Amino acid sequence: MEGKRQFSVLTGQNRVGFIDPSQGLPPLGPRHRGRCPRTPSSLLLRGFSDADWDGDMTDRRSTTGYCFFLGDSLISWRSKKQSLTARSSTEAEYRALADTTQELIWLRWLLSDMGAPQRSPTPLWCDNNSAIQIAHNDVFHERTKHIEIDCHFTRQHVVRNTIQLHPISTLDQPADIFTKAHLLGRFRELVHKLNLSRSSPA
C-alpha cells in the first residue's frame, strides 16, 4: 500500500476488490483495446446517455438516464426526471447529455486522482443524432435557442476534446433501462448489456 495509489472497484452494493494501475491488469473485455496504449483497457472510461420524451403522464417531463463503465464494469448510473418539460425528443436527449457530461467530467477527475488518468477523449454514446449534431454545432438555430445556456456544457467539452460523441441505436443503448419501464424480455436484455447478474442466495 505504501507509495501507491489504489482504489476499490464498486458494484451497486459491495466492494469487490482493489486495482493498482501500476500493475497493468489484464483487460476485462475487447472494447477499445489498443486505442489508448498508455492506459490498460480495463481502466478505460466509456459512457452512455439516454432520455425518454414526454414520459411522465402527469407533468409530461422526460427522464434522463446514463451509465458509465470502467472497462466492462458498471461503475456509475442514474435515472432522474428532468426539471423542465422538453419540447422535443431532441431537447430531452440534449439535456440528458449535459447531465451525463457533468458526471463524466467528475469521473475523469476521480480516475486521474487515483492514478488512472484518461489520456484520450472519453467516448459517449447517444441514440439521438440531432442532439449529437447540436453538440457539435456552435451556431444557435431558431429551434434550439430556447434551451438554457447550461445545457451547452456538452458542446464545450466536445470542443475541448474531453469527450467524443458517438451514435448508437436504441436497441443497443444500455442506458435505456434507466429512462422507462420495459417488458420482461427487453428488461433482461438490458440487464445483460449492463453486465449484471442475479445474486445467488446466501
Strands 73-81 and 163-167: unpaired
Mean pLDDT of 123-140: 86
Q: Give me the DSSP letters along 78-138.
A: EEEE-SS--SSHHHHHHHHHHHHHHHHHHHHHHHHHTT----SPEEEEES-HHHHHHHH--
Model confidence pLDDT, tens digit, residues 10-25 = 433 333 334 444 444 3
How much is the average pLDDT of 168-191?
93
CA 54/CA 42 separation, integer angstroms: 37
Higher pLDDT, 127 or 4: 127
Residue pair 50/127 in contact by the 8 Å Cβ criterion: yes
Write down the CATH superfamily of domain 7-193.
Ribonuclease H-like superfamily/Ribonuclease H (3.30.420.10)
Please report the pLDDT score of residue 104 as a whole number.
97
Q: In this predicted model, what pLDDT tens digit does every residue of 47-58 receive, in sequence order? A: 999 998 765 567
**Residue 61's pLDDT is what?**
86
Q: What is the pLDDT of residue 42?
A: 78
Q: What is the mean pLDDT of residues 137-166?
A: 76
Which of residues 156 and 10 earns the better pLDDT score?
156
Distance CA 60, CA 96 (A): 16
Sequence length of the chain is 202
pTM: 0.74
Domain boundaries, the chain: 7-193
What confidence score (pLDDT) does residue 140 get? 53
48: its cell numbers = 452512455
Considering the chain, what is the average pLDDT of its residues? 77
Arithmetic mean of pLDDT, 76-90: 84
Q: What pLDDT is attached to residue 147?
A: 66
